Amino acid sequence: MIKLIKRVSVISIIMAVVFMVIQVVSDLYLPTLTSNIINNGVATGDIDYIWKTGFYMIGFSLISIIAALGNTYFATRESQKLGQKLRSDIYQKVENFSSRSFDKFGTASLITRTTNDVNQIQMVTQMFLRMMINAPITLIGASFLAYQKDAQLTRIFLVVIPIMLVLVGGIMYFAVPLFKSMQKKTDRLNLVFREGLTGVRVIRAFDKTDYEANRFDEANKDYTHTAIKVNTIVALMMPLMTLIMSGTNIAITWFGGHYIAEMTLEVGNLIAFMTYAMQILISFMMLSMIFVMVPRAQASADRINEVLNEEDEILDPKTPATLSLQGDQATLTFDHVAYRYQGAEKLALEDIDFQAKSGDFVAIIGGTGSGKTTLVNLLPRLYDVESGAIKINGINIAEITQHNLREVVGFVPQKAVLFSGTIRENMKYGKPDATDEEIWQALEIAQAKDFVSELADGLDSRVEQGGGNFSGGQRQRLAIARALVKQADVYVFDDSFSALDFKTDANLRAALKRDMQDSIMVVVAQRVSTVMDADTILVLDEGQLVGKGTHESLMADNETYQEIVSSQLREEDLA
């Protein structure tokens, strides 16, 4: 946790501490003034003394209030800032996560860690700056002053403090493990809730609403049970503390009364002693709260550190080479590339070897699960190759920065994702200074010009979260256009034409061939009609490159390709 809290500014901590010390000293001094006013003023009828001491008391009260305000200000400001810093650190870290790290944590848990866990740290930091300093100073100061006021009465604490220690220890023993398990249950709750929200259509279509509601109910109940237990334990603390305080007061009054009768104690000292006793007990309570909060926050801190310490798998080289756009001179080489998913025994890709140059249309075809997506994901380095090398314009992509690489590669993932905003904003994603003319040109190639220009607001039309207000095929075309707006040497389309009808698919390919002659197109497809007129067709089967050539050559001698073609022709015959 200390590692996380290091983000707080030292000056602010010092300010908070200074204000706190001023407040504690004033608070400690006030009961002494009270006893003075009673012993020296009231008892002797010295009005002047009463006035003078009264003014002092008002003065110290004011100082105490101002100091408390100052302390709260710095404590609150710093803890909020710490939360902000932690959230942005986590966000930046996660944005650079490899796909494997994402799988490891899961989206729901990452969200809990950024919100709930950061809140815990924030809260404990604020408490720390408010109480952690206050409680020990008050405890020591008040004990010392109480002892000075009357040594005999301090013996009461010999009984009270052990009782308090047992109580606080007991609460910690039961509450801390529960607090830790609550964090896990929050994760679970978020996971189920998230799945329910994103899958709401599927859930309805499968008539699984009740099932999902039950699943959520279970997670919800589980969480609530633990929360109730924890809160019951913590709530018990308050009345027990009040009981102890009242008991202490009675004891002080009882013994104090006797001492006064025996003339061994002054009234003012008794009153001051009582106040100090309360201060001591309240500090104890504060300390016990801190002891409950700290382990809980420690659990949160561990969870945050897990994210922040996750090792970057895809690293930039220390002395990167520079890859510049080559236009019509671009080349792409896969040099005996192999890839294996983390923990998998089998290679997901084996000995993939091919070349392409500007203007080439490289198609990748193969059954589902044959490794097509895996292959193209290696190009923008979403994963790193296990052996072999990928070279663009003669330079190994592992030897340049990821930023540089992504300037040269335009990528349309299998699942088209748009961001909320306007169409124009989405189109400018890869090239912030793109002009409307460039955008329209890209939309035209992507066969999206017609439907975008029919929208009432044109380029200013709203895109909702995930592009939900567009059809699957429209979303695909917008995602293609977004990649085209950016000038790239290599464009990758992962099954990006799958939701298009045959005619649009054909028009799109024709436009790409005509207008993007300077670039290399790598197109993953399921349909033979999409790949038929490609310059090179790569046939994948279970991660192996089993065929490489044109449609005609593969038709002549490649069994896998022939099978794919005949299976699709049969389907079309049937249709």
Ligand X SMILES: Nc1ncnc2c1ncn2[C@@H]1O[C@H](COP(=O)(O)OP(=O)(O)OP(=O)(O)O)[C@@H](O)[C@H]1O
Interaction of residue 413 with ligand X, rule CB under 6 A: no
Helix 267-308 vs helix 155-198: crossing angle, to nearest 10: 30
Among the listed residues 216, 341, 354, 429, the single contact to ligand X using CB under 6 A: 341
Q: With contacts defined by CB under 6 A, name the span among 144-152, 340-348, 429-437, 545-553 that binds ligand X.
A: 340-348
Nearest C-alpha neighbor of 544 from the set 365, 350, 404, 412: 350
Of 485, 483, 455, 491, the residue nearest 471 (C-alpha):
455
348 part of the interface to ligand X, by CB under 6 A: yes
The nearest distance, CB 488 to ligand X, in angstroms, is: 21
Stretch that binds ligand X, among 263-271, 319-327, 366-374, 545-553 (CB under 6 A): 366-374
| Contact call for residue 372 and ligand X (CB under 6 A) | yes
Q: Of 26 and 560, which CB lies nearer to ligand X in the complex structure?
A: 560
Whose Cβ is closer to ligand X: residue 258's or residue 415's? Answer: 415
Residue 370 near which of ligand X, Mg ion, none (CB within 5-8 Å, type-dependent): ligand X
Nearest to 359 by CA among 207, 515, 480: 515
* Among the residue ranges 16-24, 364-372, 424-432, 549-557, the one whose residues contact ligand X (CB under 6 A): 364-372
> Within 13 Å of residue 262, how many CA atoms lie on the same side as its CB?
9
240-248, 254-262, 311-319, 365-373 -> range binding ligand X (CB under 6 A): 365-373
Cα angle 330, 333, 339; round to 5:
140
CB of 447 to ligand X, least distance (A): 22
Report in angstroms how near the CB of residue 330 gets to Mg ion at its nearest.
Answer: 24
54 near ligand X, rule: CB under 6 A: no
CB atoms under 10 Å from CB of 333, counted, come to 19
**Binder to ligand X among 64, 98, 109, 373 (CB under 6 A)?**
373
**How many binding residues for ligand X (CB under 6 A)?**
14
Torsion sign (Cα): 273, 278, 284, 290? negative
Binding status of residue 430 toward ligand X by CB under 6 A: no
Tell me, what amino acid is at 102?
F
Nearer to ligand X, 286 or 365 (CB): 365
Candidates 369, 394, 468, 472: give the one binding ligand X (CB under 6 A). 369
DSSP-derived letter for residue 310 is P
Under the rule (CB under 5 A), what is the footprint of Mg ion?
Answer: 373, 414
Task: Return the number of the residue (274 or 349) whose C-beta is nearest ligand X.
Answer: 349
Distance CA 495, CA 479 (A): 12
Answer with the entry of ligand X, Mg ion, none that 472 interacts with (C-beta below 5 to 8 A by kind): none
Residue 320: phi and psi, rounded to 5, are -70, 145
CB closer to ligand X out of 35 and 370: 370
Binding partner of 79, given ligand X, Mg ion, none, CB within 5-8 angstroms per partner class: none
In the complex with ligand X, the residue whose CB is nearer, 115 or 529, is 529
472 binds ligand X, rule: CB under 6 A: no
Q: How is 491-559 classified by DSSP, letter by letter? A: EEEESTTTTS-HHHHHHHHHHHHHH-TTSEEEEEES-HHHHTT-SEEEEEETTEEEEEE-HHHHHHH-H
The answer to whether 240 and 269 have CB atoms below 8 angstroms apart is no
Dist CA 350 CA 410 (whole Å): 24
Query: Any contact of residue 32 with ligand X (CB under 6 A)?
Result: no
Return d(Cα 487, Cα 500) in angstroms, integer.
24
Tokens of 113: 């860690």
> Could you say which residues in the range 485-504 bind ligand X, by CB under 6 A?
495
Q: List the structure tokens of 571.
A: 């389907």
Per the document, the length of the chain is: 575
The contact pattern for ligand X, residues 552-571, with x = CB under 6 A and - = no contact, is --------------------
The structure tokens listed for 181 are 């398990």
User: Does 476 help bind ligand X (rule: CB under 6 A)?
Assistant: no
Among 31, 371, 388, 473, binds ligand X (CB under 6 A): 371
Nearer to ligand X, 414 or 461 (CB): 414
Q: Which does 374 bind (CB under 5 to 8 A by kind): ligand X, Mg ion, none?
A: ligand X
Residue 378 CB, shortest distance to ligand X, in Å, is 10
By CB under 6 A, tell whether 303 contacts ligand X: no
Does 479 sit near ligand X (CB under 6 A)? Answer: no
One-letter amino acid for residue 258 of the chain: H
256 binds ligand X (CB under 6 A): no
User: Measured on CA atoms in the order 483, 489, 494, 500, is the torsion positive or negative?
Assistant: positive
Asked if 275 is part of the footprint of ligand X (rule: CB under 6 A), the reply reads no
Q: Nearer to Mg ion by C-beta: 323 or 337?
A: 337
Q: Is 319 in the site for ligand X (CB under 6 A)?
A: no
Nearer to ligand X, 443 or 540 (CB): 540
On whether the CB atoms of residues 410 and 484 are closer than 8 A, the answer is yes
Sheet holding 544-549, edge to edge: 395-396, 387-392, 331-339, 349-357, 544-549, 536-541, 361-366, 520-525, 490-494, 409-412
Per the CB < 8 A criterion, the answer to whether 426 and 483 are in contact is no
Residues that bind ligand X (CB under 6 A): 99, 341, 344, 348, 366, 368-374, 414, 495
